[in-house]
Structure 1
Amino acid sequence: MASTADPTAQLYCLPNVLHNQCLTSVKFISACFAGAAAGILGLQNWRGFALFALSVLSTSFVMYAVNCKGKPSRYLPGGIGELVNPGQDNIFTFILVWTLFYGIVHVYE
């Protein structure tokens, strides 16, 4: 029976991988809510992207403090870099939801 004392082996353990997929889902939902907020507020240009950056940082901080207990390298293969990385899909999701809500709310302005 394999021992899980090795930190690199713990990164590829099935429960840890499933937990990392849950963290990815949290990042995705955060990008959706940030896009909706930016669209409803009518933010344009860099202000919308500033809201996205703020949401990525706040989500990463919460995951750092709550889920990773201050040691992200123990739970994620990339450590803090993986935790703060917004991901290409999340950026595109943010832009899609941002433009959708902006178009719905501010169509007649």
Structure 2
Amino acid sequence: MPSELELQISPIVQESLVHNSRTLQNLQSLTASLFGVSAGILGLESYDGFLFYLAFSLLTSALFYLVRVAPSSLTAGPRYFRGPFEFWAGGLMNGLAGFILTWTLFYGLVRA
């Protein structure tokens, strides 16, 4: 538990943590479906499709970090997340079901 002095110096608001996590999770879920559409149209199969998803999900997190998190940490203090693992890899498992669903749907539509 942080002390009162630490909280006065750098306050952490629980609502902000939840909002930031939810925003990132929504972005990752949406892009996972778009990556599934792309992988299905490209006709990727097996490990190629999963590597496609992994690479582009990490790229999305990196772009989100560069555009939204890094500039604000230089001027107005850091944006808070629960931890670096949640930021970089938390959305991988959340978006996986949507990715597989749209991947197989569009693969079947294009190849049929």
TM range (shorter): 0.7 to 0.9
1:25 corresponds to? 26
* Superposition RMSD in Å: 2.3
1:82 is aligned to: 86
Determine if the alignment matches structure 1 residue 34 to structure 2 residue 35.
yes
Q: Secondary structure at the match of 2:70?
A: coil
> Structure 2: which 5+ runs fail to align?
none
Helix, strand or coil: the match of 1:76? Answer: coil
**Identity between Structure 1 and Structure 2 (%):** 32
AA aligned to 1:82 is: E
2:52 maps to 51
Deviation at 1:4, TM superposition (A): 5.8
SS at match of 2:96: helix
The separation in 2 between residues aligned to 1:45 and 1:106, in whole angstroms, is: 15
TM-score, normalising length from structure 1? 0.78
Shift of 1:103: 0.8
Q: Does the alignment pair 1:101 with 2:102? A: no
Residue 57 of structure 1 and its aligned partner are, at CA, apart by 1.1
Distance between the aligned counterparts of 1:4 and 1:65, measured in 2? 28
Distance of 1:88 and 1:57 partners within structure 2: 12
Higher relative contact order (CA 8 A, sep 6+): 2
Q: TM-score, normalised by structure 2?
A: 0.77
Count of aligned pairs: 101
Q: After TM superposition, where is structure 1 displaced by more than 3 Å over at least 4 residues in a row? A: 2-7
Per the alignment, do residues 98 and 56 of structure 1 end up closer, same or farther by CA in structure 2, a change over 3 Å counting?
same
